[in-house]
Amino acid sequence: MTEALPRIEELVLRGKTVLLRADLNVTFRPGTTDIADDSRIHASVGTVELLQGKGAKVVLCSHLGRPRGNVVPEMRIEPVRVRMSEVLGRDVRHVGGPESASALGAVAELSDGEVAMLENLRFNPGEEANDVEFAKGLASLADVYVNDAFGASHRSHASIVGVATILPAYAGLLMRAEIEALNRVLVSDERPAVAVLGGAKVADKLGVVKNLAPNVDAVLIGGGMVAAMLAVQGYGVGSTELSEVELMAGRTLIEDEDFASKIRLPKDVVVAQEFDEDSDFVEVEVDAIPNSGYVLDIGTKTTADYVDIIAKAKKLIWNGPMGLFEWPSYSKGTARLAEAIAANDVAFKLAGGGSTVEAINRFGIAEKLTHISTGGGASLEFLEGKTLPGIAALRSI
């Protein structure tokens, strides 16, 4: 629970420097430095502004992409710094990497309420290795540490765990909001409770389904998970190739009586002849899927069934689209379910996952949701019941 996390609201911070770990790992439009989704930047603003209002000097830090300890020019933090400056309405200074000779001096020159941003933390191999010296270097820049990067808190990295053992450490506003929303999913008695799960792989969601099962009444399956779930029941799935890991995960769900009765699978699907946006496609019952082709969306009957279940829910968890919604021919299932989730005015509604957030933004329903998680993999691990290292580090203070 968030009550156990050290809070920043009562801190006296005027004249203090705060190292604020945020999750600013945005996505870019292919081949450009144009930010495609800046929702993580907006989600971090509340904590930045609170710290500014308290007169703190704020040093933002984040990873970006997977440079694996190397300096990769296209993964520089600069586009994020520029966008954060625009969102805050004031300049965010660039002060270089935490290991650079100039960083300490540049941070020392900040005035109360000013904001600076460090270079991509993962340019240094010490970040992902949770290297003690790298953590000490980060800590040397500040008086106080605040973790607002829930989306990276499933990693035992220097900026997530290491610094929290050196500086007085606190949870940011977004961190606490994420934990409160996810805890509500797991423990509240709001019923009927419905999980809408899509995405690519059953194995990725297996732990989530198992842990959610006691507190949900229905699990609606869509997306790439459909093929494995149908295959283990003996249905053909066209040209889709499934690993033994996926098939084993599907069998686990189908054969476990504790939650098998709660799983809802498609009755009909949309099948493309080729894996191509402009391919011809057909809508068929699941027992009539052609020997070749790809299942790229749920069908009309399935969509109608899922919409009815969603309309009656008092709690909704959405992680993963129902089909390849980026291609118009295969977007109808996801679009219709998004509309149904938005139209349910009584349910607590939590959504998360990178492709889910993209769908939410595409179909314009963000304001109709209770909470949109920025967590990605961290959210899934939390919903699986795992202890996240970043949260454990704060609670151990």
Q: Which DSSP string do the residues of 345-388 spell out, in sequence order? A: -SSEEEEESHHHHHHHHHHT-GGGSSEEE--THHHHHHHTTPPP
93 and 133 together in one domain: yes
- How many domains does the structure of the chain reveal? 2
Q: Out of 40, 315, 332, 349, which one is annotated catalytic? A: 40
Instruction: Quote the pLDDT of residue 2.
Output: 55
Catalytic-residue membership of 336: no
Domain residues for the domain of 198 are 188-383
Three-state secondary-structure class, residue 272: strand
Instruction: Quote the pLDDT of residue 7.
Output: 87
Q: What is the pLDDT of residues 201-239, one digit of tens each?
A: 888 888 888 888 888 999 999 998 999 999 999 999 999
| Residue 15 is assigned to a structural domain of this protein | yes
Query: What is the residue type of 72?
Result: V
235 and 354 together in one domain: yes
50 vs 48: CA distance, rounded Å: 6
307 and 253 together in one domain: yes
375 and 242 together in one domain: yes
| Residue 105 is assigned to a structural domain of this protein | yes
28 vs 184: CA distance, rounded Å: 32
246 and 360 together in one domain: yes
CATH of the domain at 203: 3.40.50.1260
265 and 227 together in one domain: yes
Beta-bridged to residue 61, according to DSSP, are: 21
Catalytic-residue membership of 354: yes
226 and 85 together in one domain: no
Inter-residue contact 358 to 351 (CB < 8 Å): no
Q: What is the pLDDT of residues 273-322, one digit of tens each?
A: 999 999 999 999 999 999 999 999 999 999 999 999 999 999 999 999 99
pLDDT above 80 (res 397): no
Instruction: Quote the pLDDT of residue 31.
Output: 80
164 and 201 together in one domain: no
218 and 110 together in one domain: no
Catalytic-residue membership of 210: no
Percent of the chain whose pLDDT exceeds 70: 99
Q: What is the pLDDT of residues 247-279, one digit of tens each?
A: 999 999 888 877 788 999 999 999 999 999 999
Report residue 94 as tokens.
Answer: 């660039």
86 and 202 together in one domain: no
Q: What rounded mean pLDDT belongs to the chain? A: 93
Catalytic-residue membership of 201: yes
Q: Out of 354, 362, 368, 395, which one is annotated catalytic? A: 354
Among 123, 148, 173, residue at a domain's last position: 173
Q: What is the pLDDT of residues 127-155, one digit of tens each?
A: 999 999 999 999 999 999 999 999 999 99
pTM, whole model, 2 decimals? 0.88
| Residue 47 is assigned to a structural domain of this protein | yes
| Residue 165 is assigned to a structural domain of this protein | yes
Q: Out of 65, 362, 377, 395, which one is annotated catalytic? A: 377
Instruction: Quote the pLDDT of residue 3.
Output: 55
| Residue 64 is assigned to a structural domain of this protein | yes
Among 173, 202, 229, residue at a domain's last position: 173
221 and 145 together in one domain: no
Q: Out of 93, 136, 184, 201, which one is annotated catalytic? A: 201
Query: What is the residue type of 2?
Result: T
Q: Select from 120, 170, 180, 173 the least CA-distant residue to 142.
A: 170
pLDDT above 60 (res 337): yes
Q: What is the pLDDT of residues 168-185, one digit of tens each?
A: 999 999 999 999 999 999
**Phi, psi at residue 258, to the nearest 5°?**
-65, -30
Q: What is the pLDDT of residues 338-350, one digit of tens each?
A: 999 999 999 999 9
| Residue 181 is assigned to a structural domain of this protein | no
236 and 192 together in one domain: yes
Query: What is the residue type of 334?
Result: T
| Residue 397 is assigned to a structural domain of this protein | no
**Phi, psi at residue 223, to the nearest 5°?**
65, -155
| Residue 312 is assigned to a structural domain of this protein | yes
pLDDT band for position 51 (50/70/90)? very high
pLDDT above 70 (res 396): no
Instruction: Quote the pLDDT of residue 284.
Output: 97
Q: What is the pLDDT of residues 348-385, one digit of tens each?
A: 999 987 789 889 999 999 999 999 998 888 998 999 88
